[in-house]
């Protein structure tokens, strides 16, 4: 693989990295002001940054072997460059000037599996710019800027889950986050358990249209319930008067928030696993963001010894499943599950074990 020096013919001034994330519980709750529970994964995205010798930004992605030159007036970019440039633009929007830079990107975070490769790229880029330019923002502000880059320059009206996870989580703990107040708590994994993540091999499709549609359904449900956001309702019975579709969407969000809050009180691996199973059923039946391949993969996990529970993770419509398994068994379980899943004609692969 190429490095910064081979591409730009000079040494970089700074280097920064950020991990991908997997969400353990609290799916489709963040844009409802609710609660989430992600952890970081070992795979990281790294940027090397140096000053550009001319008046343009130059970006290079080692994974994609793609080079992009950006004029100062550029407004629309494609692919990885829109995330990188989006970060530069949001930093400028809050009043800092960014001189022309060279940015070299390399990453081991899988793209399109729901493990936040885009947020990892945003957080790594912003960390790199922060250290290159001595910018004064903290890790929470940095996550918020990353979210703005995603919304304004990548066109996804996402919540704050991914960028907060990539900016603040580590691989040894779970990060409980209240997405309204941004209050957070670092929690240990359930005793005697570790995680496995397997990609279904089905690329996410309809992810952005389905995502935005769910988002507006939730807003409509909150409005009909007379609350600012679905986070303000904790009793699942409260949705009984809503029309069928909105009732299902709201019930998922309310029960999912309750599941995350239950973890805060400290639960065993067994109970945590049951909450994950319930989360999957809710995402499948009420929120309708699962697909048959994800259901099959989750089913194989759930029927395997040493598995406490499993669910789809990320936005859904394809992507990956996460499972909580007995400590020390991750490698054995992932191998067995993958074999069984691929024997059924799929092309899954292991992402974390
Ligand atoms: C995507 C979004 C997040 C969150 C999840 C679903 O990853 O970027 O903000 O909404 O989907 O939980």
Q: Residue 133 and residue 43: Cα distance in Å, rounded?
A: 26
- Note if 199 is an active site residue: no
On whether both 152 and 210 belong to a single domain, the answer is no
Q: Which domain holds residue 73?
A: 4-184
The 10s digit of each residue's pLDDT in 83-127 is 999 999 999 999 999 999 999 999 999 988 889 999 999 999 999
Q: What is the pLDDT of residue 155?
A: 81
Q: How confident is the model at residue 160 (pLDDT cuts 50, 70, 90)?
A: very high
Mean pLDDT of the chain: 96
On whether both 161 and 16 belong to a single domain, the answer is yes
Q: Which strands form 349-352's sheet, in the order they lie side by side?
A: 307-313, 320-326, 193-199, 349-352
Q: Residue 170 and residue 164: Cα distance in Å, rounded?
A: 11
Distance 191 CA to ligand 1 centre (A): 27
265: Cβ contacts below 8 Å, ≥ 6 apart: none
Q: How many domains does the chain have?
A: 2
Rounded to 5 degrees, what are φ and ψ at 88?
Answer: -60, -45
Task: Please work out whether the CB of residue 317 comes within 6 Å of at least one atom of ligand 1.
Answer: no
Mean of pLDDT values over 292-312: 98
Task: Please work out whether the CB of residue 314 comes within 6 Å of at least one atom of ligand 1.
Answer: yes
* CA torsion through residues 106, 150, 37, 341, sign: negative
Closest CA to 67 of 79, 49, 50: 79
Mean of pLDDT values over 154-173: 94
100 touches 129 (CB < 8 A)? no
For residue 68, the domain's CATH number is 3.30.230.10
- Rg of the chain over Cα atoms, rounded to whole angstroms, equals 20
Distance 157 CA to ligand 1 centre (A): 9
107: helix, strand or coil: strand
Query: Given 143, 160, 184, which residue is the final one in a domain?
Result: 184
Task: Please work out whether the CB of residue 150 comes within 6 Å of at least one atom of ligand 1.
Answer: no
Name the residue with tokens 């099959």: 296
Query: Given 184, 217, 241, which residue is the final one in a domain?
Result: 184
On whether both 315 and 222 belong to a single domain, the answer is yes
On whether both 206 and 165 belong to a single domain, the answer is no
The 10s digit of each residue's pLDDT in 279-294 is 999 999 999 999 999 9
From the alpha carbon of 211, which atom of ligand 1 is closest?
A: 11
Question: In sequence order, what E strands does 125-192 have?
Answer: 173-178, 184-188
On whether both 200 and 177 belong to a single domain, the answer is no
On whether both 16 and 147 belong to a single domain, the answer is yes
On whether both 211 and 245 belong to a single domain, the answer is yes
Residue 205 has pLDDT above 80, yes or no: no
Query: Given 184, 216, 246, which residue is the final one in a domain?
Result: 184
Q: Residue 287 and residue 254: Cα distance in Å, rounded?
A: 11
């Amino acid at each position: 693989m190429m490095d910064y020096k081979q591409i730009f013919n000079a040494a970089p001034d700074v280097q920064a990295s950020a991990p991908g994330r997997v969400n353990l519980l609290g799916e489709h709750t963040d844009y409802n002001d609710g609660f989430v529970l992600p952890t970081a994964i070992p795979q990281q995205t790294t940027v090397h940054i140096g000053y550009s010798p001319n008046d343009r930004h130059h970006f290079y992605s080692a994974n994609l072997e793609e080079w992009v030159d950006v004029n100062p007036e550029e407004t629309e970019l494609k692919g990885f460059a829109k995330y990188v440039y989006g970060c530069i633009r949001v930093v400028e929007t809050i009043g800092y000037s960014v001189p022309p830079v060279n940015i070299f990107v390399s990453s081991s975070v899988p793209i399109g599996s729901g493990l936040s490769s885009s947020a990892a790229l945003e957080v790594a880029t912003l960390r790199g710019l922060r250290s290159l330019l001595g910018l004064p923002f903290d890790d929470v502000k940095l996550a918020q800027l990353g979210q703005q880059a995603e919304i304004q320059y990548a066109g996804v009206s996402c919540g704050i889950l991914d960028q907060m996870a990539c900016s603040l989580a580590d691989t040894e703990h779970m990060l409980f986050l209240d997405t309204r107040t941004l209050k957070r708590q670092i929690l240990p994994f359930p005793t005697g358990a570790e995680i496995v993540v397997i990609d279904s091999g089905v690329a996410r499709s309809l992810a952005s249209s389905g995502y935005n549609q769910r988002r507006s359904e939730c807003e409509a449900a909150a409005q009909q319930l007379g609350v600012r956001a679905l986070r303000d309702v904790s009793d699942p019975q409260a949705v009984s008067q809503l029309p069928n579709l909105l009732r299902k969407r709201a019930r998922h969000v309310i029960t999912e928030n309750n599941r995350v809050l239950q973890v805060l009180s400290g639960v065993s691996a067994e109970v945590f696993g049951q909450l994950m199973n319930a989360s999957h059923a809710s995402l499948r039946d009420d929120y309708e963001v699962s697909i048959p391949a994800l259901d099959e993969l989750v089913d194989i996990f759930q029927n395997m010894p040493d598995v406490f529970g499993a669910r789809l993770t990320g936005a859904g419509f394809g992507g990956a499943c996460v499972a909580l398994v007995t400590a020390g068994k991750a490698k054995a379980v992932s191998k067995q599950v993958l074999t069984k899943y691929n024997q059924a004609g799929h092309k899954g692969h292991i992402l974390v074990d």
